[in-house]
Amino acid sequence: MKNRNASSGNFRLEKARQLWHFLRTQEAFRRAPVLTLSRSAIWYCRCFLQLATALNLTRWNVWMSFRPSEKDSGSSSMPFANITSPELAYLEEVLSQGKVFVDVGANFGVYTLVASRLVGATGKVIALEPTAQSFETLRQNIALNHFSNVRAFQVALTQSSGKAWLYHGWDPVSNSLGKDPLSGDEAKKSKRNRSTISLRIRHRPHRRY
């Protein structure tokens, strides 16, 4: 009994260590740790009660749905904390009607959805996500917003086509083709397709003043 309790305690301690490591990499946590932690606690309660969540990012008028899973809490910390990430602010600067945006590792689609709204009906968004669970949520979020300018593919982007091992981290945003040394020997992995994408880029000549 003591060995079982010790093993359970070590497992919980390791999970807590992984969660802390993940949170420290998140922009929302660095900018507002107390708010992010409180929203994460609410998320865990919803996961326990098996309550799915739909969020409206009002700045861009896009909706995102999340399935009730504790493993999704970190990836949703940004919208739950209501903090605009520097990446989203950058998208607003560089994207406009008619442009093309490629989201590599789209996860649940926060950048895909915002980009789709910014480039408009005359633009295009290509979303790439190899993880099966995340890809399904990505497709649901695209359909939820009725976006017709987005094409989603369940592949990883590499220099050559083929198959590769996908390592699953604590949270879907931590999944990688390379193993995280902090994930330990028990990290789950699955084999996924990898692909290359050919893009035709139109260079705009510089103006001389």
Q: What is the pLDDT of residues 177-199, one digit of tens each?
A: 776 555 554 445 555 555 444 44
Instruction: Give yes or no for a contact between 196 and 157, defined as CB atoms under 8 angstroms apart.
Output: yes
Rounded Cα gap, residues 85 and 78, in angstroms: 7
Instruction: Give yes or no for a contact between 63 and 56, defined as CB atoms under 8 angstroms apart.
Output: yes
Rounded Cα gap, residues 130 and 177, in angstroms: 10
- Specify if 209 maps to a domain: no
The structure tokens listed for 119 are: 């480039």
- Specify if 151 maps to a domain: yes
- Specify if 155 maps to a domain: yes
For the chain, how many structural domains are there in total? 1
Q: Give the pLDDT band (50/70/90) at residue 6.
A: low
79-122 per-position pLDDT tens digit: 454 455 788 889 999 999 999 999 999 989 999 999 999 999 99
- Specify if 160 maps to a domain: yes
20-59 per-position pLDDT tens digit: 777 777 777 777 788 777 777 777 777 778 777 778 888 8
pLDDT computed for residue 170 by the predictor? 61
CA-closest candidate to residue 62, choices 180, 145, 184, 167 = 145
pLDDT computed for residue 185 by the predictor? 45
User: In 33-59, which positions are buried (b, 16+ CB within 10 angstroms) versus exposed (e)?
Assistant: eebbeebbeebeeebeeeeebeeebee
Rounded Cα gap, residues 16 and 62, in angstroms: 32
Rounded Cα gap, residues 44 and 84, in angstroms: 22
pLDDT computed for residue 7 by the predictor? 62
CA-closest candidate to residue 80, choices 115, 116, 41, 114 = 41
- Specify if 208 maps to a domain: no
- Specify if 133 maps to a domain: yes
Higher local confidence (pLDDT), 157 or 121: 121
In the numeric block, the tokens 């692909």 are attached to 195
pLDDT above 90 for 205: no
pLDDT computed for residue 55 by the predictor? 80
- Specify if 201 maps to a domain: no
Q: What residues make up the domain containing 79?
A: 2-195
| Residue type, position 121, single letter | A
- Specify if 19 maps to a domain: yes
Q: What are phi and psi of 152, to 5 degrees?
A: -110, 140
Question: In 3-state terms, what secondary structure has residue 116?
Answer: helix
Q: How many helices (H) and strands (E) does the chain have?
A: 7, 8
Rounded Cα gap, residues 199 and 178, in angstroms: 25
